[in-house]
Structure 1
Amino acid sequence: MEHRTPLILIVDDEPLNARILESMLRRSGFATLTAHNGPQARELAALHPVDLILLDVMMPGETGYLTCQLLKETPQIADIPVIFISALTDTESRVHGLECGGVDFISKPFEKAEVLARVKVHLRLRLTYRALIEAQAQRLGQLQAAQQSLLVRPEDLPEARFGVHFAPVLEAGGDIYDVLPTGVGVFDYIVADVSGHDLGAGFLTSALTALLRQNVNAATAPEESLAMTNRVLTRILTNGAHATLAMARVNRTQNSIHLVSAGHPPPVLARQDGSMELVPAEGDILGVFDTALWTPQEIAVQPGDRIFLYTDGLVEGFGDPPITRDQGIALLWAAIRSTASMPIAATVEAVHEYIAARKGPAEDDSVLLGIEV
């Protein structure tokens, strides 16, 4: 892993405050950059390998809160930790700063000992985070576990209420699925498609499965788990290899689904009242951009509602005539509607058979994962 002097970006419209911070940080062995407004800060952060940002809250024009929000919306710099510096000490101001993406607060007038202590804590956390990513990348580079041994069957987790049809074209395919219990009445359901359809892709799907199991947990939002997973994948995927993924966190206690998609086909939501809808969610594919972004969807559901995750091999065909994705999704929609009265496992099998009969021989790996709330 790279070893260099930590670089701290100071953002303050008061030159005196900036010089004081710059002096104390440099005397402690840190490198610094200084900006006097938000736009300048974002420009410097994009041009230099900044490890930490000290950001004044009260600045003319663009406040520190807005600057932080805009930093977090810029993929290549979104992961830089931000510590707010402010004379505001009320709880509401501090909470607002954390909601904007900040990790800590330093009160004005600042004390040298407090500034250095907080800076060192967050630099250590950032270093630990990077080291964890590198360690996971090294372990996954040696992973040779068989893909089939990692698959969860409905009978293994009956309380998860799912059915699945997994059809790899080769013995080790490029598609995967997983079901992970992450809380009382809470399960994460994952379907992914790794580019490529050879044994190399099969190896990577095993690696992706293991990586997701390391990073998915009850304390971490699905999009945060994907961020950690993506950072490792960018280090082990080469030659344009990537993965798409859909992840649904189903909370049966709160009757909700938290959906995240990384460039994946939109799930189909079938409600008990007979209504159906596609649920698109925007997000970058995995393994290409070092810092990617996803926009989660929160869906209110009721017991008995169903959501179906799938890979493009289920809904696309390259025969004569070819089947476009839109045509395949129309087939999927019709099949789900016609099998709504069946148990979820039977529905999944019937839907797959319905589509396969109209597509002809399989040309690509496919997964269909049906979940009942």
Structure 2
Amino acid sequence: MSRPDGILKLSDSTEDCWEFYNTGKSLDGPAGFKIHVNFSAVDFDRGKQILLRSYNGRGVEFKICNSAQFCERLNAGYYGVTQVGKAVTIYVSSADRLLAEVRYLTQLLVGFTGPCPPTDLRVPQSGTLSYRWAARTEPMTRSIGSGVPSPVQDPLCGHTPVGNPFAELKKEGVDLIITASLRQGAKGAVYEGFARGVPIGTSREFRPIVLKEFRKNAVKSELGHDSWCLGESEIKAYTKAGGDLLPELLWHGISNESMYLLLEAPIGFQTLHDFVKTCGRDDIPDICVRVRRLVDALKDAGIVWLDVSPSNILIDEHREMKAIDFESFEDETGITYYSLQPLGSPITEVDERLEILREKLLELIE
């Protein structure tokens, strides 16, 4: 088996080390693409043997965990949530090389599965590959931000160039730190983190936030609507309903072809999806009554909320609730869209939506 070019020990309390191969051979600049091989600890030894035997000769720079135990700790979040799924990191400079390596690795690692890093996009038709655009040097990493892509065309999925919310917020006097990616897809992404600045009500202390991104032209409806329609609809909703029914909208803006909404992450709230797991069946009727009040209050504010699901409701210990994630809008012809798909007969009756919710809640506690 090949010997590494270098080793980086991570902890005095463990034997965890990164092993480096082909150092300096595939990167000719400070930034490029990172491909992550998301091995599980169970499959790690077999996967490592395949990579060192069949992949190492391609002359591409990569680092890999030195052991299955290190991989297990990595995936368990021992080194932070952003490191989950990064058993192997492969460095390439260009989109063409990214495509070539992904094609090769997809065939080489058929059948492997593992956790996708929270900052990455999953490679289509792969259970173990993910990727992102990133920097190698610390100064450039800081300018890019933690986990939010800088403006770059996504060469695999054809996403439009994304923006840089850090730069736009800096103009407003707001410092932004992203700690995790909650969701990424063609239409955009949702991140969580912290922000501070006079415009958002705190000059010194960081407050928890959620950053939502809507990518223009990435996906279009039959009539040409794109994700910006969803973003504009959400801005209107937050403006109408204020901070009692919805999280507070702290800022919104546009960078490149991405629209961003900076929202408060209400302290003491969690999703109903997580909250209900600590409840019993007897709690469900009261929860549904409270959800109905929320739906009715939003309707009174001029907001039709179609996706009434446990993951789209925030709740605190007193069972106070806030709604999130609408994904719907009405166009100039009066057609209602959900997730850019026209709804011929949307579920508008509250009783129907609450019955679906009740069934989902019962499934979560059983």
Q: Normalised by the size of structure 2, how large is the TM-score?
A: 0.30
Report 1 or 2 for greater relative contact order, CA contacts < 8 Å, sequence distance ≥ 6.
Answer: 1
Q: Which has the larger radius of gyration?
A: 1
